[in-house]
Amino acid sequence: MEVRHYLQFKDFTCEEYEYLFARARWIKDVFKRYIPHQPLRDRTLAMVFEKHSTRTRVSFEAGMTQLGGSVITLMTRDTQMGRGEPIEDVARVITRMVDLVMIRTYEQSIIERFAQFSRVPVINGLTNEYHPCQILGDIFTCVEHRGGICGKTVAWIGDSNNVCNTWLQAAEVLDFNVHVSTPPGYEIEPGRAGLYGTDHYEVFADPMDAVKGADLITTDVWTSMGMEAEDAERRRDFEDWRVDGDMMRAARPDALFMHCLPAHRGEEVAAEVIDGPQSVVWDEAENRLHAQKALMEYLLVGRVKTQGDLWST
Ligand code: CP
Ligand code: NVA
């Protein structure tokens, strides 16, 4: 049987996401009630980090532990990968020993090469191009707060980075719209974003135009991991792309604010927004845990009956 991986948002269908959001809600509910749910007993997750992480590391490690499994965390610099062992050989070795792998690395091609030689499912924990687990948790948060995302408008303000690309893919899979506003020179690249078409996003030169009518405003750091050399230049170029109170007021009155975190108050987002009443960033961060537990369960044991009474499932 072919192994399923989660390397990009578009690896799953809309119908699979509907299952995962329902399952995440159930998993969150039992977690909040302190009811053990351990379908992954005796399963092992290996996590490979080539970049820094707080949320991804904690949510996957806590999530796998809560599901009854165990976790091995590898920082590439401490392993033979840091001394040049080919990624294909690493994939062949460690996937004989564990049941699931999560990787945070640089180019998407690295995780794709790993997956090609993997015996077990591989999850993208962030690459230069994509961050599917983030948007999985983000859209679960939209579902919780607003009942769904289909037909809604998301305004992306800032860099055309991995998180932006993943929102754009998600819009195609789940049928919503993205208004994108980036500074000149930082425009989205539809090919790199892995898009099928142009009918789920619209580009705006002025961020104030992008947020008009939006149900959700979201942004991310101006300088992603690996781009540190451009930091000073980016601070200048992105100065007018800070999400502030004026932008929030130009959106729908009930618009949500999201940020994948870590955030830089006073740079990409004003403190009044991220710490304000429309911000759901802490729910968003927490939901990485619940959504990824649903994802890991799905990849390792498949679909489980979710609907209905908590005690009968
Ligand atoms: N949002 C996110 O992925 O956070 P970390 O970099 O802390 O994992
Ligand atoms: N775009 C950011 C996301 C961090 C979670 C980065 O790649 O650094």
Question: Per residue in 81-131, pLDDT tens?
Answer: 999 999 999 999 999 999 999 999 999 999 999 999 999 999 999 999 999
Is the distance from the beta carbon of residue 221 to the nearest atom of ligand 2 less than 6 Å?
yes
What superfamily would CATH give domain 9-131+285-301?
Answer: Aspartate/ornithine carbamoyltransferase (3.40.50.1370)
Read out DSSP for 226-281?
A: T-GGGHHHHHHHTGGG-B-HHHHHHS-TT-EEEE-S---BTTTB-HHHHTSTTB-H
Q: Say what percent of the chain tops pLDDT 90.
A: 96
Tell me the CA–centroid distance for residue 304 and ligand 2, in Å.
32
How far is it, in rounded angstroms, from Cα 14 to Cα 173?
6
Bond into 262 cis (ω within 30): yes
Is the distance from the beta carbon of residue 166 to the nearest atom of ligand 1 less than 6 Å?
no
What rounded mean pLDDT belongs to the chain? Answer: 96
Convert the pLDDT of each residue in 34-45 to its tens digit: 999 999 999 999
Tell me the CA–centroid distance for residue 166 and ligand 1, in Å.
14
How far is it, in rounded angstroms, from Cα 221 to Cα 35?
37
Q: Give the closest ligand to the alpha carbon of residue 166.
A: 2
User: Would you say residue 312 has pLDDT above 60?
Assistant: no
- 86, two tokens: 């080919």
Residue 308's pLDDT is 52
Domains 9-131+285-301 and 135-283 share a fold: yes
Q: Angle 162-174/132-146 helices, nearest 10 degrees?
A: 50
How far is it, in rounded angstroms, from Cα 153 to Cα 214?
5
Q: Give the closest ligand to the alpha carbon of residue 49.
A: 1
Q: Which of the four CATH numbers 3.90.470.20, 3.20.20.70, 3.40.50.1370, 3.40.1640.10 does domain 135-283 have? A: 3.40.50.1370
Question: Which of ligand 2's atoms lies nearest the C-alpha of 261?
Answer: 5
Q: Give the closest ligand to the alpha carbon of residue 125.
A: 1
User: Would you say residue 26 has pLDDT above 50?
Assistant: yes
How far is it, in rounded angstroms, from Cα 105 to Cα 114?
11
Residue 1's pLDDT is 72
User: Would you say residue 307 has pLDDT above 60?
Assistant: no
User: How large is the average pLDDT for residues 158-165?
Assistant: 98
Is the distance from the beta carbon of residue 225 to the nearest atom of ligand 2 less than 6 Å?
yes
Q: Whose CA is nearest to atom 6 of ligand 1?
A: 53
Residue 313's pLDDT is 33
Is the distance from the beta carbon of residue 134 to the nearest atom of ligand 1 less than 6 Å?
yes
- 65, two tokens: 């532990």
Is the distance from the beta carbon of residue 162 to the nearest atom of ligand 2 less than 6 Å?
yes
Tell me the CA–centroid distance for residue 47 and ligand 1, in Å.
14
How far is it, in rounded angstroms, from Cα 303 to Cα 12?
13
Task: Output the furthest CA–CA distance in the chain (Å, rounded).
Answer: 57
User: How large is the average pLDDT for residues 179-206?
Assistant: 97
User: How large is the average pLDDT for residues 15-23?
Assistant: 98
Convert the pLDDT of each residue in 223-266 to its tens digit: 999 999 999 999 999 999 999 999 999 999 999 999 999 999 99
Residue 309's pLDDT is 45
Domain range annotation of the chain: 9-131+285-301, 135-283
Indicate whether this model's pTM tops 0.95: yes
Residue 150's pLDDT is 98
DSSP assigned state of 195: -
